[in-house]
Homo-oligomer: A and B are copies of this chain.
């Protein structure tokens, strides 16, 4: 029968509250014990419902992990936004600040940040659109300073450069924070990143000038 959408029945209210509790509990659990430490039974106990009830709130673990990822991406986005506008407006230094903010966020939210990249969708299931959109937002922070540095480049070229630069920084952070390869002290890693970002943008500018005129 058709639901009364105005009264917001107790059931729906409770459900929304529970769903939100579930996502928060999952977030805490990943932060504390890593993606592989996330267990449905622990979650159910934590939010006070039956094992099976988790699947009334969320289609499966994949969705839950993606929801947590969405929250992590949102916070990351905020951190990058803050870095974008704090400090001197020079595009190069803005790029450096954003890179360092990315590094700091990853270090401070290690497990949640890792979960973003470790998680693999169960075979032949596609990542839902809302999650993909979340991810794409990140490049936009880096896009603006790049556009200022390279006014002649097309939107598409800039997009490619932005993704490349972002990926390079991501790699440095990823391998830098990985204890698998030699663990690097955080200050050293930050210095390394700042140096390479400056070098990359210097190099890109030099090649840009070379290309479009001044020899």
Determine which of B136, B171, B175, B182 lies in contact with A181 in the assembled complex, contact meaning CB atoms within 8 Å. Answer: B136
Q: How far is the CA of A193 from the CA of B166 in the complex (A)?
A: 12
Tell whether, in the assembled complex, residue B175 and residue A170 are in contact, meaning their CB atoms are under 8 Å apart: yes
In Å, the complex CA distance between A105 and B135 comes to 26
Contact A136 B182 (CB under 8 A): yes
- Asked if A147 is an interface residue, CB under 8 A from chain B, the answer is no
Across-interface contacts of A127 in B (CB, < 8 A): 180
User: Bound state CA distance, A203 and B173, in angstroms?
Assistant: 20
| A residues 173-215 touching B (CB-CB < 8 Å) | 173-176, 178, 180-182, 184, 188, 192-193, 195-196, 198-204, 206-207
Q: If A127-B180, A176-B167 touch, does A203 touch B192 (CB 8 Å cutoff)? A: no
- Tell which of B117, B168, B174, B181 touches A135, judged by Cβ atoms closer than 8 Å: B181
Q: Say if the beta carbon of A30 comes within 8 Å of chain B.
A: no
Determine whether the beta carbon of A165 is less than 8 Å from that of B196: yes
- A149 to chain B minimum Cβ distance, whole angstroms, is 12
A sample of 10 more A-B contacts (CB under 8 A), given A168-B169, A202-B203, A202-B206, is A118-B118, A135-B180, A164-B193, A165-B196, A171-B173, A198-B203, A199-B200, A199-B202, A199-B203, A200-B200
22 A-B contacts (beta carbon < 8 Å): A34-B120, A117-B174, A127-B180, A135-B180, A160-B188, A163-B184, A164-B172, A166-B175, A167-B171, A167-B176, A168-B169, A168-B172, A168-B196, A170-B175, A171-B172, A171-B173, A171-B174, A196-B200, A196-B204, A198-B207, A200-B203, A202-B202
